[in-house]
């Protein structure tokens, strides 16, 4: 019985249509394997870069401070964390004689920011970039070049945010978690 099926299989394989069918099945398997492999590679790439897009492994967004329970969890597991506060406001350079106002996105950050990725800053407008793992000192801000250009400011001058004046010490070029939202259209003050 087994020999009968072997003879039948050999006879079928000799026909051109069956050989074409076998080639088509082999090509389909190869294409399926290639697409699956490509999909896996893309998923790995997206996952590896997703953490830098949010500058952390996890982001908690809230309109209030962390609860005592959340703070306890952070302390218990010795988790790295940083706080940020982002809001829109008008900035001006009235201390320098310029009465122009500029709608800006202000981001206050705590020490340890960013948890993943790095900030890129420059010590002069359109100067050489360097990565940095610190945040502005108290009373200082880092601003994007648009703030300097539109308000006619230079480094080491002051910019007013609300009722407070802050010394501009660096040009902020890149933040890892700066997303593409409405707020990203306004120049950043950190």
> What is the reported pLDDT for 73?
86
> What is the reported pLDDT for 34?
94
> What is the reported pLDDT for 26?
93
Of 94, 78, 84, the C-alpha closest to 163 is 94
State the Cα–Cα distance between residues 46 and 69, nearest whole angstrom.
Answer: 32
**Residue showing tokens 């988790």:** 79
DSSP state of 163: T
Q: Spell 49-82 as b/e; 16+ CB within 10 A means b.
A: eeeeebbbeeeeeeeeeeeeeeeeeeeeeeeebe
> What is the reported pLDDT for 7?
78
> What is the reported pLDDT for 64?
82
Residue 189 · residue 169 · CB < 8 Å:
no
Model pLDDT for residues 111-150, shown as the tens digit of each residue: 988 888 888 999 988 889 998 888 999 999 999 999 999 9
Query: Domain extents for the chain?
Result: 2-52, 68-189
> What are the pLDDT tens digits along the chain (190 aa)?
678 877 777 777 777 778 888 889 999 999 999 999 999 898 888 877 776 667 777 777 778 888 888 888 888 888 888 888 888 999 988 766 777 898 999 999 989 888 888 889 999 888 899 988 889 999 999 999 999 999 988 899 999 998 889 999 999 998 887 765 555 688 999 8
The values of phi and psi at residue 118, to 5°, are: -150, 150
| pTM score, whole prediction | 0.68
Q: Token pair of 54, please?
A: 């949010």
Residue 165 buriedness (CB in 10 A; 0-12 / 13-18 / 19+): middle
State the Cα–Cα distance between residues 122 and 129, nearest whole angstrom.
Answer: 5
């Amino acid at each position: 019985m087994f020999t009968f099926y072997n003879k039948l299989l050999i006879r079928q394989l000799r026909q051109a249509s069956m050989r074409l069918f076998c080639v088509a099945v082999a090509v389909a398997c190869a294409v399926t394997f290639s697409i699956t492999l490509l999909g896996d590679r893309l998923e790995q790439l997206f996952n590896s870069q997703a953490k830098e897009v949010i500058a952390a492994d996890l982001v908690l967004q809230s309109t209030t401070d962390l609860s005592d329970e959340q703070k306890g969890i952070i302390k218990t597991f010795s988790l790295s964390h940083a706080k940020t506060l982002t809001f829109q406001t008008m900035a001006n350079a009235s201390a320098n004689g310029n009465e122009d106002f500029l709608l800006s996105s202000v981001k206050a950050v705590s020490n340890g920011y960013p948890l993943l990725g790095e900030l890129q800053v420059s010590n002069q407008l359109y100067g050489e970039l360097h990565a940095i793992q610190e945040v502005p000192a108290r009373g200082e801000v880092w601003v994007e070049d648009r703030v300097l250009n539109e308000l006619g400011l230079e480094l080491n001058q002051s910019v007013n945010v609300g009722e407070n004046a802050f010394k501009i010490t660096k040009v902020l070029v890149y933040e890892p978690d700066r997303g593409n939202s409405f707020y990203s259209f306004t120049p950043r003050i950190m």
